[in-house]
Structure 1
Amino acid sequence: MVVLITGANGQLGQAIQSISGNYPEIDFVFCDSSKLDISNLKNVEQIFAQYKPNYCINAAAYTAVDKAESEPEKAHSINVIGAKNLAEVCKKSGVVLLHISTDFVFDGNRSVTLSAVEVPYSEEDIPNPTGVYGQTKLDGEKAIQDTFDNYYIIRTSWVYSQFANNFMKTMLRLASERESLSVVNDQIGTPTNAVDLAEVLVKIICHTELAGAFGIYNFSNEGKCSWYDFAKKIFEINNIKIDLKPIPTSSFPTPAKRPSYSVLDKSKIKNTFGIAIMNWETRLKTIDFSVITEKKP
Structure 2
Amino acid sequence: MVVLVTGANGQLGQSIQFIAHKYPNIQFVYTDYQEMDITNFENCQSVFAVHKPQFCINTAAYTAVDKAESEVEKAHLINAVGPENLAKVCKEFDTVLLHISTDFIFDGTSTSLSMTNGYKETDIPNPQSVYGQTKLDGELAIQNNWEKYFIVRTSWVYSQFANNFMKTMLRLASERDTLSVVHDQIGTPTNAVDLAEVLLKIIQSCHAELVSVSPNNFGVYNFSNEGICSWYDFAKEIFQQNAISINLNPIPTEAYPTPASRPAYSVLDKTKIKKVFHIEIKEWKDSLKECLTQLKR
Shorter chain as denominator, the TM-score bin is over 0.9
Contact 1:184 1:247 in 2 (8 A): yes
Q: What SS is found at the alignment partner of 1:217? A: strand
Counterpart position of 1:197: 195
1:15-34 paired onto structure 2 within 5 Å: 15-34=15-34
Deviations 1:210-259 (A, max 9, x none): 22220000000000100000000000000001100000000000000000
1:93-242 paired onto structure 2 within 5 Å: 93-110=93-110, 112-113=111-112, 118-208=116-206, 209=210, 210-212=212-214, 213-242=217-246
Counterpart position of 1:274: 278
Q: Which has the higher helix share?
A: 2
Counterpart position of 2:67: 67
1:264 is matched with which residue: 249, 255, 268?
268
* Further displaced range: 130-139 or 278-287: 278-287
Contact 2:191 2:291 in 1 (8 A): no
Q: What SS is found at the alignment partner of 1:87? A: helix
Deviations 1:26-64 (A, max 9, x none): 000000111111001111011101111000000000000
Query: Could you tell me how far apart the structure 2 residues matched to 1:265 and 1:114 are?
Result: 13
What is the one-letter code of the residue matched to 1:139?
A: D
Contact 1:76 1:136 in 2 (8 A): yes
Deviations 1:147-193 (A, max 9, x none): 01100000000000000010000000000111100000000000000
Counterpart position of 1:286: 290
Query: Could you tell me how far apart the structure 1 residues matched to 2:233 and 2:6 are?
Result: 32
| TM-score, L = length of structure 1 | 0.96
Contact 1:162 1:292 in 2 (8 A): no
Structure 1 residue ranges, 4+ long, deviating more than 4 angstroms after superposition: none
Shift in CA distance, 280/291, structure 1 to aligned 2, threshold 3 Å? closer
Contact 2:160 2:294 in 1 (8 A): no
Query: Could you tell me how far apart the structure 1 residues matched to 2:104 and 2:294 are?
Result: 31
Query: Could you tell me how far apart the structure 2 residues matched to 1:38 and 1:235 are?
Result: 38
CA displacement at 1:289 relative to structure 2? 4.3
Q: What SS is found at the alignment partner of 1:99? A: strand
What is the one-letter code of the residue matched to 1:113?
A: S
Query: Could you tell me how far apart the structure 1 residues matched to 2:213 and 2:52 are?
Result: 19
Query: Could you tell me how far apart the structure 1 residues matched to 2:292 and 2:264 are?
Result: 30
CA displacement at 1:79 relative to structure 2? 0.4
CA displacement at 1:114 relative to structure 2? 6.7
CA displacement at 1:8 relative to structure 2? 0.1
Contact 1:108 1:260 in 2 (8 A): yes
Identity %: 65
CA displacement at 1:286 relative to structure 2? 1.6
Counterpart position of 2:45: 45
Residues paired across the two proteins, number: 291
